[in-house]
Structure 1
Amino acid sequence: MVPEEAKKILHDSATKGDVATFQTLVQQDPFLVDQVSFARARNLLHIAAASGYVEIVKIVLYVAPDEMRWWVDDQGMNPVHIAAMKGHVQILEELLQHDLSPAMERLHRGQTVLHLCVKHGQLQTLRLLLEKLGDLVRAKDDDGETILHLAVRYNQIEMVRYLVESNKIEKLTDNSMGKTPLDILRESSQHTTTFSETEGLLLRLSDQPFLHVFREITGTTMVVVALIAAMAFQAAVNPPGGVWQDDTSSHMAGKAVMASSHPKLYKLFSRANTTAFVSSLLVILLVAFRTPTNASLFVMLIWYTTLVSMASIGVSYRASSIMTNPIETQTPGQIVAMVVSVFVGIVVLVAVYIYMMLLYSMWKRLKQQHEDVTIADRIFRLFYQFQRIIERVVVN
């Protein structure tokens, strides 16, 4: 058993960086190093790693290079965790010089040493660890959260910027609650000074930075869009004023009465009704149109059945409109042109999206090569400012 006096001298010399005294004690009795323990079940390497004295750490590692690194305190942390939490880069390099395994040990609730760096705002130790443990960046804790989730939750803008701009994280992932870091950000206060920049950074990782806004339309909005489609369909089948019940020399049974009594007004009504139906159908399609990757066969079957159903209601709508429209008011060319123009608009939006993503790829490549990215960066930022405006208009 180590005498209390020797134990106190060891502790004081390690915490104060008194290398001479510490080295003298260790030389007199090398077994002191791995025999002594302190409060919170910490050993000398814990104490030295927390204090930040590299020379003390080197002495301890020289005397007991293996077992000291694996020793965990009452919080489940080994000396590597302590050094990372305290931001001691040089000590961390010493501890990981010959063995990276202690850095892979999980903490409470499955958190990694990277989670610990983020929680305590230690960007420099995070950088070092990611250089040595790159694959650990995707690790999730027991709540399914990556270090990006945690960086957003703790408002660590420097961490978020580093993870995104250095391409350490390639895409947003869901935690166990189905929320991405972007979802967590938007649930927090949007009045912070870093909100706008953090949002712009996270949008770069979105799988579809522009079209994703359509998938975030609220349930209430979807109900309204579906109601518009249903009303438009009903109006096509049973137009205002009803339909003629019998055949005469001036009209045919089943044709719209309004087309005979107010032909100009009926043409306007028909075009507006068709526009409402097609546009609402397109909104529903945009919201639902997500290829179900990694989905079960049952889910894929439901998804494709939905698409078939939507196509069928379009055909039904067209058949109903032909049935109720008199021959003299039927303008299929105009209807086709209107539908085509809507699709052309969608194609143009997709083309712009692809072009901007190409610009973004160029920007990332230049960033990695440390070249001048001023122009590309400005274009990219303008694009995301425009996207945020569109998103707020659509969602709100």
Structure 2
Amino acid sequence: MRGRRRDEMKLLKLLDAGREEERENMESRIHEAALKGSVACLLELLEEDPLILDRTIDTDARMSETPLHVAAMLGHVDLARELLTRKPQLASGLNAKGSSPLHLASAKGYLQIVRDLISISPENCLARDQGGRTPLHLAAMKGRVAVLDELIRAKPEASRVPLTSRGETVLHLCVKHNRLEALKLLLEKDDESVNWKDEDGNTILHLAVVKKSIRTIRFLLANTRVEVNSLNANGCTALDVLAKGPGDAKDTTIYQILEGTGALRAKDIPPAAAGDEIPTAKTSSTNKQVKKPKPEKKRQTDWLGRKKSALMVVASLIATVAFQGVIAPPGGVWQDDLTTDSNGNPVEKPHFAGTSVLAYNIPIAYGQYIIFNTLGFLASLSIILLLVSGLPLKRRRWMWALMVIMWLAVSSLVLTYFISLLHMTPDSVKGVLYYVTKISVLAWLGLMGVVLLANFIRVKLWLARKYGVVKETQMNKPAVPMDPNHDYDSGDDF
């Protein structure tokens, strides 16, 4: 009796093993059909086992992917449509990473499959994988603009509500992965979350600065309501993030863009403005924006930045030319020593190797050359020193003083050129050349004098207005509307 029962148990185990092997074989075959995208193979398998798709749904926890996952991942439109027609429940199935077929199709950019999946189960637009990401997040990370548009039309709230496990909105992901076109589309649909912050307190502007994405920064500042002086969890504005980050060739351009729109360091933000709140991923309080600097302040900041850069370049060039002029003076230097003649007698005009030929032949001209060359050299060095010293040269009156020094350096360079040209030109060709050069130099000096006089008058008028010499009625005249396309570099704000 016991032997018979033992035989029955063995038989049952063999039958179960056979069924399990057959089931695994069918699952393997349907997986291969999904990899090939073969609808014919699928129909053949369904004829053999009409319940194979039901078993797939029941056993998807053991399988890495359902057939619909594979079709969505590989872009097999016909197979995906056949699977959805026969078993719509597959649309909500999750793989081992918690991703639905819509996650995979969105990441890959298969628009038609996305549409078919949405038509079956639009709620999957809000489904999250193990990383807290929705299909919209994955499409944004991959820059699938058409898919984004389709997902937002199906579920408009998908672009606003879902956040990743790090508190990132879909806008954060676009910036982090440098998907500008996707960012533009999302902001066209809804720009309410443009100032939301991730778990580190970073807005999308902070991230754009970290990524050094100049195009994204320009777009955000020109076309959105992004807060340029928002503070992150470390108390840093976008300008602080740029200053603390690793140096890059793009830093100067980004700095000028931010500064031109009123960006400030955290230490420069007034206390009242710094206390205002910006909506974050964890806060839905009333939007309070830090007041941006007035347009006049922005223009002045941009003007100062451009002038400083130009002055630094020109001053460096003049200093280089002046230094080279001392090493290689007009006429060159003596190549040998000459103190005695061939008979051993002292010569009338001795000279030594390495000294200037012009200094021996025309001492007065050499003295003039050295004076003006040294004046230009020291003036240019003074400009460089002031610009790199860190002194607060933030007002136009100081920039005006720097430009006066620059005019002095340039004028000295012109006079040095004139002296060199005059005394290096042979007498046989001096005639017309001398007079043309002389007239040109005088005209240049005259122009410089006019510019200096005009600016001197501007300073006097500014001082008169400041200390009440000009009548109050004149000061309160209506201002002429400013043309935003005009360059106000020569403004009167000292």
TM range (shorter): 0.5 to 0.7
Partner of 2:184: 161
SS of corresponding position for 1:9: helix
1:90 shift after superposition:
0.9
**Which secondary structure state, in structure 2, belongs to the residue aligned with residue 74 of structure 1?**
coil
1:310-364 Cα offsets, whole Å, 9 max, x none, are xxxxxxxxxxxxxxxxxxxxx99939999x97xx99x989x97xxx9xxxxxxxx
- Asked if 1:46 corresponds to 2:69, the answer is yes
Deviations 1:224-265 (A, max 9, x none): xxxxxxxxxxxxxxxxxxxxxxxxxxxxxxxxxxxxxxxxxx
**Is the Cα–Cα contact under 8 Å of residues 215 and 287 in structure 1 kept in the other structure?**
no
Counterparts in 2 of 1:110 and 1:336: CA distance versus 1, 3 Å: farther
Residue 80 of structure 2 corresponds to: 57
Match of 1:218?
A: 265
> Of the two, which has the highest radius of gyration?
2
Residue 148 (1) aligns with residue 171 (2): yes
Q: Which residue of 1 aligns with 2:143?
A: 121
Q: Pick the aligned partner of 1:206 from 225, 231, 244.
A: 225
> Corresponding residue for 1:69?
91
- Alpha carbons of structure 1 residues 286 and 196: separation in structure 2 relative to 1, 3 Å: farther
Confirm whether residue 176 of structure 1 aligns to residue 199 of structure 2. Answer: yes
Query: Between Structure 1 and Structure 2, how many residues are aligned?
Result: 253
Q: Which residue of 1 aligns with 2:120?
A: 98
1:128-168 deviations in Å (ceiling 9; x for gaps)? 1112111111132232211111111111122223323x344
Give the superposition deviation at 1:210.
11
1:118 to partner: Cα distance? 2.0
List gaps (5 residues or longer) in structure 2. Answer: 1-19, 231-257, 291-464, 490-494
Distance 1:110 1:26, change over 3 A: same
Listed as ranges, the matches of 1:133-282 within 5 Å are 133-138=155-160, 139-164=162-187, 166-170=188-192, 171-189=194-212, 195-203=213-221, 204-206=223-225, 216-221=263-268
The AA in structure 2 aligned to 1:120 is K
Letter of the aligned partner of 2:219 in structure 1? L
Of residues 11, 20, 34, the one that matches 2:40 is 20
CA apart distance, 1:35: 1.1
Report the aligned-residue RMSD. Answer: 4.4
Q: Match of 2:82, SS? A: helix
Higher relative contact order (CA 8 A, sep 6+): 1
CA distance in structure 2 between the partners assigned to 1:11 and 1:186 by the alignment: 45
Cα deviation code 1:24-68 (max 9, x no counterpart): 2113322101213577532121122112112212222222212x2
TM-score (normalised: structure 1): 0.53
* 1:155–1:207 CA distance, 2 compared to 1 (3 A): closer
Structure 1 pair 77–122 and aligned structure 2 pair: CA distance change class (3 A): same
How far off its partner does 1:285 sit? 8.5
**Aligned CA distance change for structure 1 residues 96 and 336 (closer, same or farther; 3 Å):** farther
Distance 2:107 2:278 in 1: 40
| SS in structure 1 at match of 2:120 | coil
Letter in 1 for 2:217: E
Question: Residue 34 in 1 paired to residue 168 in 2?
Answer: no
Query: In the aligned structure 1, how far is the partner of 2:131 from the partner of 2:216?
Result: 26
Once residues 202 and 34 of structure 1 are traced to their aligned partners in structure 2, the CA distance between those partners, rounded to angstroms, is 49
Give me the identity figure in percent.
23
Q: Which structure: greater helix fraction?
A: 1
Q: Which stretches in structure 1 are left out of the alignment for 5+ residues?
A: 190-194, 223-283, 304-330, 357-378, 390-396
Q: For 1:120 and 1:95, how far apart are their aligned partners in 2?
A: 19
1:240-293 Cα offsets, whole Å, 9 max, x none, are xxxxxxxxxxxxxxxxxxxxxxxxxxxxxxxxxxxxxxxxxxxx4995696999
Using the TM superposition, give the Cα deviation of residue 86 of structure 1 relative to its aligned residue in structure 2, in angstroms: 1.7
Separation in structure 2 between the aligned mates of residue 121 and residue 288 of structure 1, nearest angstrom? 35
